[in-house]
Chains A and B, each alone.
Chain A
Amino acid sequence: MTTITYVEAHGQAVTVDVADGWSLMQGAVANGVEGILGECGGSCACATCHCYVDEARIGELPPPANNELDMLEDAAAPRRSNSRLACQVKVHSAMAGLIVHLPDRQQ
Chain B
Amino acid sequence: MTSPDKVVIVGAGQAGLQTAEALRGMGYAGAITLLGAERCGPYHRPPLSKSWLAGEIAAEQLAMRSPDALERKGIALRTDAQAIGIDIGKRLVRLADGGALSYDALVLATGASPRMLDIPGRDATGVLALRSMEDAQAIAQRMALCAESNRPMVVVGGGFIGLEVAATARKKRIAVTVLEAAPRLLGRVLAPTLSEWYAQLHRWHGVNLVLNARIAAFETGADGQVCGVQMNDGTLLPAGLVIVGVGVQANDGLARAAGLACDRGIVVDACARTSNPYIFAAGDCTARSTSEGTLLRLESVQNAVEQGKSAAAAVMGQERPFAAAPWFWSDQYDIKLQIAGLSTGADRWETRGEPDSGSFSVYHYCGDRLLAVDSINDAREHLQARKRLDGEGT
Contacts and interface: CB of A to CB of B under 8 A. Distances in A.
B315 to A, nearest CB: 21
Given A67-B377, A71-B383, A30 B336 contact: no
B47 A41 contact: yes
Interface stretch (B66-74, B108-116, B118-126): B66-74
B46 A40 contact: yes
A21 B61 CA distance: 9
Interface string B58-81: 101111111011101100000000
A95 to B, nearest CB: 17
Nearest to B387: A74
Interface string A12-47: 000000010111001001111000011111111111
A71 B382 CA distance: 9
Contacts of A43: 46-47, 50-51, 329, 331, 336
Judged by DSSP, the binding face of A is loop
A12 B69 CA distance: 15
A67 B65 CA distance: 27
Interface in B43-62: 44-47, 50-51, 57-58, 60-62
Contacts, number: 79
A37 B57 CA distance: 19
Contacts of B65: 29-30, 32
A69 to B, nearest CB: 9
Contacts of A45: 329, 331, 336, 338
A71 B379 contact: yes
A54 interface: no
B380 A70 contact: yes
B383 A32 contact: no
Interface in B70-96: 70, 72-73
9 contacts: A26-B63, A30-B65, A41-B62, A42-B44, A43-B50, A43-B331, A44-B336, A45-B329, A46-B329
Interface of B: 44-47, 50-51, 57-58, 60-66, 68-70, 72-73, 301-302, 305, 329, 331, 336, 338, 377-380, 383-384, 387
Given A31-B69, A74-B379, 15 more contacts: A22-B61, A26-B61, A30-B60, A32-B68, A37-B305, A39-B305, A42-B57, A42-B61, A43-B329, A44-B379, A67-B336, A71-B379, A73-B380, A74-B380, A74-B387
